[in-house]
Amino acid sequence: RKGNVIVTGASSGLGLATAKALAETGKWHIIMACRDFLKTEKAAKSVGMAKENYTIMHLDLASLESVRQFVDNFKRSGRPLDVLVCNAAVYQPTAREPSFTAEGFELSVGTNHLGHFLLSRLMLDEMKQSDYPSKRLIIVGSITGNTNTLAGNVPPKANLGDMRGLQGGLNGLNTSSMIDGGEFDGAKAYKDSKVCNMLTMQEFHRRYHEDTGITFASLYPGCIATTGLFREHIPLFRLLFPPFQKFITKGFVSEEEAGKRLAQVVSDPSLTKSGVYWSWNKDSASFVNQLSQEASDVDKARKVWEVSGKLVGLS
Ligand code: NDP
């Protein structure tokens, strides 16, 4: 049978390019988990995905209620779940004030981390039941949350601190909207959320890889300077960022190439190592990359897991 893969945020950018690359192999049915049905349908058509290769299901990661509803809908569809790709993200580098999810968590960490955290925790049982030979749970990371790299050292740097803000619920009322308890900074909130994504993947690996055989992985697909992620940035940045990445840092990667990379992590038989963070060199060859000290800190990973579990209503 075809493999069934859920891709969150498949309506644009990396998620869409990945869905397209997987559809073209003819080996996958892609569940495009998105908040905007019409946009996703148009996007799938625009890249030439054949109708029999995908299903669109509603998911708004900025609402835990919606995450639970999505899990129920998926279960009722009767499809086994073979691979889950947590890809969607918001980035608000120019926001002066925080905005919040339905449950009142700061939006970047709430969407990118907490929404995906609940989704993947709830979907783990579904994946355990599938008889697919190579089951995988992939959480897209980023270099910007990784302070052992040049890009990860551009201020403001990711830093979870002692997580007092996260413990307080990130609601901006009686506690801070930032994980470390500091002043709101949209770019930092995004980077912090990516560190949580990478820590979560490793904690999943430690807790479940041996028992379930599921491969847990994260990746940095390269700088895809043309995606919607930068939609809230100032116009001059949006104009100069793609050529800067192409010619100066040479980290630029097209959406199509990045989609092929993520599709490899989904289905390539040689990329089954669990608990790792994939990157690609300039010849587009994959390798297991090092994470920064914070993004591989075992105690922090456990704490992110425990505190996040309480916030999303799991024990
Ligand atoms: P895009 O903005 O193009 O795509 C983000 C996707 O997330 C969109 O489909 C968007 O949906 C979806 N999304 C946002 N909020 C929600 C929500 N509340 N519920 C459901 N879906 C939501 O960005 P990219 O493709 O660049 O980003 C994809 C991933 O790649 C992210 O995890 C990002 O961190 C990572 N990444 C990107 C890099 C880059 O250079 N671009 C570099 C490294 C990592 P909608 O269409 O409805 O807005």
Per-residue model confidence as pLDDT tens digits over 229-249: 888 888 888 888 888 777 777
Q: What's the confidence (pLDDT) of residue 238?
A: 85
**Averaged confidence pLDDT in the chain:** 94
Instruction: Kindly give the distance from the C-alpha atom of residue 156 to the centroid of ligand 1, in angstroms, as a whole number.
Output: 20
Instruction: Kindly give the distance from the C-alpha atom of residue 308 to the centroid of ligand 1, in angstroms, as a whole number.
Output: 21
Average pLDDT for residues 269-289, to the nearest whole number? 94
Residues 196-214 have pLDDT tens digits of 999 999 999 999 999 999 9
Q: Which helix (H) or strand (E) holds 32?
A: strand 28-34
Q: Is the CB of 59 under 6 A from ligand 1?
A: yes
Instruction: Kindly give the distance from the C-alpha atom of residue 162 to the centroid of ligand 1, in angstroms, as a whole number.
Output: 27
* 274: helix, strand or coil: coil
Q: Judge whether residue 152 has pLDDT over 80.
A: no
Q: Is the CB of 245 under 6 A from ligand 1?
A: no
User: Which segments of 36-169 does DSSP mark as H helices, in order?
Assistant: 37-46, 64-77, 107-108, 116-129, 164-168
Is residue 188 within 8 A of residue 178, CB to CB? The reply is yes
Atom of ligand 1 nearest to the CA of 43: 46
Q: Judge whether residue 186 has pLDDT over 90.
A: yes
Q: How many CB atoms lie within 10 A of CB 155?
A: 7
Q: How many CB atoms lie within 10 A of CB 1?
A: 9
How far is 227 from 233, CA to CA, in rounded Å? 12
Atom of ligand 1 nearest to the CA of 226: 41
Enzyme catalytic residues: 190
Quote the radius of gyration of the chain (alpha carbons, Å).
Answer: 18
Q: Is the CB of 45 under 6 A from ligand 1?
A: no
Instruction: Kindly give the distance from the C-alpha atom of residue 91 to the centroid of ligand 1, in angstroms, as a whole number.
Output: 8
26 contact partners, CB below 8 Å, separation of at least 6: 2, 53
Q: Is the CB of 19 under 6 A from ligand 1?
A: no
User: Which segments of 78-172 does DSSP mark as H helices, in order?
Assistant: 107-108, 116-129, 164-168
Q: Is the CB of 145 under 6 A from ligand 1?
A: no
* 90: helix, strand or coil: coil
Average pLDDT for residues 44-58, to the nearest whole number? 98
Q: Is the CB of 88 under 6 A from ligand 1?
A: yes
297 contact partners, CB below 8 Å, separation of at least 6: 199
ipTM score here?
A: 0.98
Beta bridge pairs of residue 219: 140, 278
Angle, CA of 92, 95 and 99, to the nearest 5°: 80
**What is the DSSP secondary-structure string of 275-305?**
SEEEEE-TT--EEEEPPPTGGG-HHHHHHHH
